[in-house]
Structure 1
Amino acid sequence: MTIFDFFRPTRSAPVARDRLQILLQHERVSAGASDLVAILREEILAVISRHVDIPSDKVQVKMQRDEAVSTLEVEIELPNPIRRRAA
């Protein structure tokens, strides 16, 4: 890579390919949305459990789809006081 590479116009094919891959992934997720929510819930719970002791029923994950946007809502009820997981 040289300094002149910065002044070359970027090719649109790689950008279009990346955008198409994102679109295809979004469409695949739309087909299996219920599976995605369950997988996300388990992964979020696993990450939180590494740091805080929390019952699995205290994590709620909801996905809403509209025509233009998809919304992922995560609700986590933390204990008071927070009980940190032993390292």
Structure 2
Amino acid sequence: MGFFDFFAKNKSGNVAKDRLKLLLVSDRANCSPEIMEAIKNDIIKVISKYMDVDTEALDIQITQTQSEDGKEVVPALFANIPIKDIKNGNPNK
């Protein structure tokens, strides 16, 4: 093990962190973690047809924002999806 390997995050730690984040997001959205995971997987599946995405760095959050009329607070989905490359050609192939 090298010097910098000591400071590298372990895989299980990242998985636990992602699960906790997903749990917190699903709580804010008032839906189950399973539904949030399905949403995340569907987003990745659709975008992956057109782009190579960094699924490890993907961040999906549900926050509260003002409605268009400004009279109420509504949930909003924000997704930060790092793109590695744009695919060329027909996405259906």
- Give the alignment's TM-score, normalised by structure 2: 0.46
Structure with greater strand share of residues: 2
- Give the alignment's TM-score, normalised by structure 1: 0.48
Structure with greater helix share of residues: 1
